[in-house]
Structure 1
Amino acid sequence: MPGVAAGFYATTADPYAQVRVERDVRQFRTTVSGDILRSDEAIVSFLLRPEAVVQTGDVIGGTAELFWSEAGFPTTAQVQLTPVATQDGTEAVSVQLGTGPGAPSLTLVRQDRSLRRLSLVMHAIKGLALPNPSLVDANAAGETLPTVMKAASIEVAVPAGIQTRSELSSRALDPQRIVNPAELEAMLREWGSPPASVGLADDWWLHVVFAGRLEGGRDVLGIMYDTQSQNADPPRQGLAVFLNTKTLSDFRQTDPVAWRRHVLFTLAHEIGHALNLPHCAERNAPAALSWMNNPFTFAGGSEAFWSGFKDRFDDDELCFLCHAPHIDIAPGTSNYAVRQSRLIAGSGGPPGGLVALAASGAPVRAAAALTPVKRCAKGQPVPLYRFGEPVFLKFTLANLGEARFPYPKSFDPSDGLLTVTVTRPDGRSRTLRPAMALCQHHPEAWLEPGGEPASFDGIFASFDADGPLFDLPGRYRVTARFAGLPGPPLAAAPATLRVLHPTRAEEIAAVTVWDDPGLMRAIYLRQPLLALDRWQELVERYEAIARDGADPDDTTAAFLRYTAALGWMQRFAPASRKRAREPDPEKAREHLRAGQHPQLPSGAAGKLRRLEDDASGVTAEPGLSRRSRARPRRASPAPPAPSARSRR
């Protein structure tokens, strides 16, 4: 294929231009993409797909799709690439975007054969058992992170290797302790020092942390935690790998080769998320043998996945990684799962049927249901919610067959197996997109035929990474698909609920939350100290609403108390504070007692029972459940409500 050589071309002046040329000599296919940027802002990106390429001699041209940083501009234009002879023999091309007078024409010099470049800053909490440094060394023999990413035409550099840190904000770190998302973000800012500019190819930058375990994450192997821009901080620049999870700890002790493989897989998987790639199941490709799939939920089991996996991204993912517009892929630009182009889908396809097939081929008959946790009021056909009232959903899985079967105990959308879709009163549908996606080994249990269904009633659906889902008065329909069983996703029976028209005070209180991403994040993470001043103002607003006309079915006040209790159950140590705030079980109990409501998730009552038992020293006898302990428990009276300024 004569003419323009494959590779990455760029200018050095502002506005900065870059062009990527991919040439498949076996199939005679050429793909061209590029970006024109000014400082740290993309002006326009273009994509010339193989089917649109016209080659005349050495010149490549055709009609390209355009992706602008602002709306209102043309969506296509003619693009032409012509080889340019240089005095020093450097390969270069002249790129003309558009036709006619004034069409920009730029000369770009070939920089590399790889189409993208990415720099990683890696830190680990001192004292952890770390992988061999060769894992991230581009010059090491065998399969390494740089060789894996180079197969996707991404040149990865880890200039300083894996550096260890023993302190965060002048506080000592225990390698065995559990970390929370706020601490991960503090590590990103304090240890990583993200660059101010995210505009140029050479500026692609990610921070990687090796830590022990994630708070509340069960067996979470990795996470790309900054999915959204917060307080003007760019998103998609931080990820973490948790080395003390049960899965990785077991492999480290019994199978070092498998341990290295899983650490490498987790790194590549989370980097994929940081470059805005979804899970395979989210784009209806659950059988893909890709870094973005989950070996533990693969049809046929993890052994079937590893036996067929060729250490690569699949073709759709490779196309996105090589040619996605700058604003879709570059770390620090758009929020996770926000994409202008349609190079890759962000969610799964249509729901599956009632019957799923096990890996052995034996039929497994299961049924699923999704229902609001709040029950119908007397005489009402559907549950009624006050405007801005928290919405929790319950997912239930039942065995309709004659044989027991295993299932993953991962019914929250953040686990990656359950997809919830909300159809609004205006007819538009939204798929609930968790603010945080966990990549983990899902714990497994068995579902007996004719036995008690498995369920989870803590699905928080009021808002997600894209904002509020129930911000219009009217009737809503909620549906779900569960991808945790072999075969096609299992469709849950749909449910409906109604949001009432607001009073003026209710609308003001609701939009106070919805217009404040920091406050929504504090509520989602159940940590009011992340936005303390706005949290206190919110509590005061809802106290005033309750005084003006108390509704015993309204769960909002109880939910705020429940959230405050969870905040007091966590250690809070952001980089901005000189002293960490340690958990206070007594304050947590105080809020939980006042926050009990029969229409909140069962977890609220369960947490109160555990705190009460911890305070009284009650332990379970062998073989007895928490509900069958010897000492009877009396309900504690709710204390007087403290002032808003003393709450969390």
Structure 2
Amino acid sequence: MSAPSDPTQGTSASLSGVTDLEQHLREETVQAEGRVPEQHEAAGLYQETQWQLTRGRYRSGGQGYQLELRVDVDGTRPQNRVSADFFSISGSTVSYFGSFIVHFPTVAVTADQVVLEGLGIFTFTAGAPRVRVTVPRRTTAQPQADATVQFLTDSGRPGANYACAFVSPYFRSVILEQDSVTGSVPFVSYNTAALPQPPSSPARVLTVVKSYAEAGIELQMSGISDIITDAPGTDLRWDDAELHNAMVQHFSGHANAPQWKVWMLVASAHTGGYRGIMFDYNDASQRQGAAVFYDAIKGDTPQSQRAQLRTYVHEIGHAFNLLHSWQKNLAVPPQPLGPNGGFADLSWMNYVQNYRPVSGAGGEAAYWAAFPFQFTDSELVHLRHGNYRDVIMGANPFATGAAEISPELFEEPVEDQSGLALEVRAKETFAFGEPVVVELKLCTTDLRGRSTHGHLHPDTDFTHIAITQPSGRTVLYRPMMRHCSDDAATIRLDGNNPAIYRSAYIGHGADGHYFQQPGEYRIRAQYLAGDGSRIVSPVCVLRVRYPLAQADQEVAELMLGEEAGTLLSLLGSDSPCLTSGNNALREVIERYGDHPLAVYARMAQGINAEREFKDITADKELKIRRPDTKESIQQLTAVADASARGEGVDNITLNMVMRRLARAQARQGDLEQATGTIDKMVRTFESKQLRPPVLEQIRGQAERTKAALLAEAGKGPTQKNQKNQKKQ
């Protein structure tokens, strides 16, 4: 007998269904939290007896549908919600069907039971949308009571009825697997009394597990905690490609399916100097992997321990699909921003240096003085009651995907006194399949100058880019890797340094390729300044033209493959899961080497060859593929030569390519050729007649690069001496 198509109508479900693993949780309660709901106090029912809290997770059994119920009207920080997920049962398989939430149900308390009732908001069309939950009252000396869920139509006619066994005081339970690289010491705990904190925040010892427990989320350590041994002399800085490969190949719980599991890698350092990253943004099963970087947060001082706790909780928060505090309006569906555009949120998901209260001074000191070590109420609602696929790892993508967004989110402000201006630049036409790269320019419009932060690239979550496609659909560009750049990076824009520039590849991201059809595209960017101002660029219009010949179509098909796009985002990778993408790029080089788009395939292959690539063996040892300088020099020289003629990559990317080429030449032992490449880079940009301030920056960068190459070869000042000279 098949289950009815609407789980709110039909037969009842029994109490069975609590697994042996969870049976021990039935005895767990949250008695120690101590207080009772105000509405219960008003009923005068707690004067003599201590009652169990009306709070936690329940589950039905039986055939047809299983209901996982969450009741949240009691205990610590109740959000006054009832929510649940439906799972359809067919034979020995269980599949997700849909979810609902009741906001602010009515609560009726008698001597025998608590009854919650309200109109549910469902992910499907429900024939009986009213929800009534009945929980018998039990004293703290008794086991926690089970719950009954009755669905009713709008007219009050009874629908399906579910008997749900109590499972846990936690609303959700997640398995955390944590591995670490030798020398990278995992965080243990922080005593909040070690440094000043808000008077309203109780002193306590917090671990990552305890921090989530306070939010009503159970993190269970998997019992697998491997130490990855490294090879002597290894460059322990990890890049995005290596992190992506490590998770896919060596997270024992990784699967291309939704599951309550997440992997944390405690690594030494990131090539970008970041503190942490939730790096799993690509493919159909995202948000399963995060990393923290020990070198950026290490230390035994209370300040260091506090920062480590925040970084761990923050990155795992992204795995639960929590956005940064100032980004919630860009989620799908949009969520309301907190005070001051989200910058006033006292949350794990804000950046300490970005904290801007409604009144008074902001910044890091003000944040820590006011932060109670908790999520905001809206974040608790998401963690506890968000729809199943929006929260569970491996289901809906971060921010729920590239669904259409409202163009009004990027409209110019009515008034702008920020003293800053943003511009998006791109060439007017792109070949079909050509990687779309834009240049971002941030400048000051105030002759007195303005200070802000330098996080202009869209992978740092301070700059967002909207793309209106030929169909008229506007989507948000979501980078494949988002970096948590929670450092100030303050810059001063004035007459001596009027602008900063960044080059961004936006052709491919977390949602795949964004420019897959010929036609006109409209690009607009928004930059969140250091003071919270939102600077919007004018619209940049570009066209993707139709292929002109058969070879153009064949090259485009190779370049527009999903794995090829991932490799362009990562600037190459050795990961076995990207083998077909590497084969496609090599085919472009070998069969279509003279085609204009071959320069991009050469760049990804050449940059990947120039660097080491880390992999983790089955024995949890770090295996290093050494740089292939010959291959790198061959490919990057071709990129540099074509670009110098105006037939390759943009100026900012060319700058990066020539410095990487010089490093490959130096590693091959030819310092003269390497320094000659850097000198050639300066001459190339001088011939392009760039603005004097930009040329000065390039000349300074060239000198620093040559000094670094000499130092690496043991023929120049050490890095420490270079820093001392720079200070002098």
Cα 1:40/1:334, change in 2 over 3 Å: farther
Checking the alignment, whether the CA contact within 8 Å between 1:297 and 1:484 is kept in structure 2 is: no
Alpha-carbon distance change, 411 to 75 in structure 1, aligned in 2, over 3 angstroms? farther
Match of residue 625 from structure 1: 700
Residues in 2 aligned to 1:186 and 1:173: alpha-carbon distance in whole angstroms:
21
Paired residue for 2:391?
329
1:587 is matched with which residue?
Answer: 631
Residue 302 of structure 1 is matched in structure 2 by: 364
- 8 Å CA contact 2:470–2:521 kept in 1: the answer is yes
Equivalent residue for 1:638?
none
Deviations 1:68-87 (A, max 9, x none): 5xxxx55972322223599x
The root-mean-square deviation of aligned C-alpha atoms, in Å, is 4.0
Matched, 1:180 2:239: yes
CA displacement, residues 171-194 of structure 1 (integer Å, 9 cap, x when unaligned): 748786112344434544666410
Query: What's the offset of the Cα at 1:441?
Result: 3.4
- CA 1:339–1:16 in structure 2 vs 1: closer, same or farther (change >3 Å)? farther
1:106 alignment partner, one of 162, 169, 173: 162
The answer as to 2:583 corresponding to 1:536 is: yes
CA deviations 1:398-433 (Å, max 9, x no partner) are 122233433322221111110111112222111110
Partner Cα distance (2:616, 2:565) in 1: 20
In the TM superposition, 1:252-331 aligns within 5 A as: 252=299, 256-283=301-328, 284=337, 285-299=342-356, 300-331=362-393
When structure 1 is superposed on structure 2, of 234-243 and 601-610 the one drifting more is: 601-610
Q: Distance in 1 between matches of 2:187 and 2:123?
A: 41
> Does the 8 Å contact 1:64/1:76 carry over to 2?
no
Maintained 8 Å contact 2:283/2:510: no
**How is 1:79-478 mapped onto 2 (pairs within 5 angstroms)?**
79-83=131-135, 90-97=144-151, 103-132=159-188, 142-158=205-221, 160=223, 163=225, 165-167=227-229, 172=231, 177-185=236-244, 187-188=246-247, 192-194=251-253, 204-215=260-271, 217=272, 219-229=273-283, 234-245=285-296, 248-249=297-298, 252=299, 256-283=301-328, 284=337, 285-299=342-356, 300-338=362-400, 349-350=409-410, 353=413, 365-372=419-426, 374=427, 383-442=428-487, 444-478=489-523
Larger radius of gyration: 2
CA contact (8 A) 1:352 1:488 kept: no
Write 1 or 2 for the structure with the bigger share of helix: 2
**Separation (CA, whole Å) in 2 of partners of 1:84 and 1:270:** 39
1:463 CA drift (Å): 1.7
Q: Which moved more, 1:448-457 or 1:563-572?
A: 448-457
Structure 1 residues 125 and 610, CA, compared in 2 at 3 Å: closer, same or farther?
closer
Distance across 2 between alignment mates of 1:346 and 1:265: 32
Q: Deviations over 1:266-287 (max 9, x none)?
A: 1111111000111112125233
Structure 2 counterpart of 1:569: 610
State the 1:28 CA deviation: 9.9
CA contact (8 A) 2:527 2:535 kept: yes
Q: What residue identity is the alignment partner of 1:107?
A: A
Q: What is residue 49 of structure 1 aligned with on the other side? A: 103
Length, aligned pairs only: 580
* Cα offsets for 1:117-161 (capped at 9, x unmatched): 22322222122344346789xxx9523223321222112233649
Q: Deviations over 1:56-107 (max 9, x none)?
A: 9743233212225xxxx55972322223599x85401112345599954321
Equivalent position SS for 1:625: helix
Distance (whole Å) between structure 1 residues aligned to residue 268 and residue 704 of structure 2: 34
The amino acid that maps onto 1:536 is N
Q: Which amino acid aligns with 1:625?
A: G
The residue that corresponds to 1:641 in the other structure is none
In structure 2, the CA distance between the partners of 1:327 and 1:511, relative to structure 1 (3 Å rule), is: farther
Q: TM-score under structure 1 normalisation?
A: 0.78
CA separation in 2, counterparts of 1:572 and 1:28?
48
Listed one character per residue, the Cα deviations across residues 264-307 of structure 1 (whole Å, up to 9, x for unaligned) are 10111111100011111212523322111112333432223222
Superimposed CA distance per residue, residues 451-476 of structure 1 (whole angstroms, 9 cap, x where no aligned partner): 44333342001121112222222221
Deviations 1:219-275 (A, max 9, x none): 211111112336xxx432221110112xx25xx2xx711111111101111111000
Q: Distance in 1 between matches of 2:371 and 2:705?
A: 53
Distance 2:128 2:482 in 1: 35
**Whole-angstrom distance in 2 between the partners of 1:155 and 1:349:** 35
Q: Deviations over 1:351-393 (max 9, x none)?
A: 564987xxxxxx7512111111x3xxxxxxxx11111111111
Give the distance between the partners of 1:583 and 1:90, measured in 2 at CA. Answer: 61
For residue 526 of structure 1, report the CA deviation from its aligned partner: 1.2
**Alignment check: 8 A CA contact 2:135 2:147 kept:** yes
TM-score, L = length of structure 2? 0.70
Kept in 1, the 8 Å contact 2:558–2:588? The answer is no
- CA distance 1:364–1:188, change in 2 (3 Å): closer
Contact 2:54/2:75 (<8 A) preserved = no
Structure 2 residue runs of 5 or longer lacking an equivalent are: 1-38, 41-51, 193-202, 329-336, 357-361, 680-696, 707-728
Aligned counterparts of 1:192 and 1:314: Cα–Cα separation in 2: 30
CA distance in 1, matches of 2:108, 2:514: 48
Q: Is the 8 A contact 1:392 1:457 kept in 2?
A: no
1:8 is displaced (CA, Å) by 1.4
The one-character-per-residue Cα deviations of 1:318-342 (angstroms, maximum 9, x if unpaired) are: 1111101111101222222217999
Are the counterparts in 2 of residues 296 and 441 from structure 1 also a CA contact under 8 Å?
yes
1:616 counterpart residue number? 671
Separation in 2 of the partners of 1:179 and 1:303?
30
Partners in 2 of 1:56 and 1:280 — Cα distance? 37
What code does the residue aligned with 1:568 have? A
* Structure 1: distance between partners of 2:250 and 2:191: 21
Which ranges in structure 1 are unaligned for 5 or more consecutive residues?
A: 357-362, 375-382, 632-648
Aligned with 2:637: secondary structure? helix
Cα drift, residue 628 of structure 1: 6.8
TM-fit CA distance, 1:443 = 6.0
Equivalent-residue separation in structure 1 for 2:205 and 2:459 (angstroms): 34
1:78 and 2:78 equivalent?
no
> Does the aligned pair in 1 maintain the 2:457–2:503 contact within 8 Å?
yes
Looking at structure 2, the residues matched to 505 and 96 of structure 1 have their Cα atoms a distance apart, in angstroms, of 63
> Aligned partners of 1:397 and 1:340: how far apart in 2?
26
In structure 2, how many angstroms separate the alpha carbons of the residues matched to 1:295 and 1:535? Answer: 40
Instruction: Give the deviation of 1:562 after TM superposition.
Output: 1.1
Q: Percentage identity across aligned positions?
A: 23
- Counterpart CA distance in 1 for 2:633 and 2:501 is 23
- Equivalent position SS for 2:456: coil
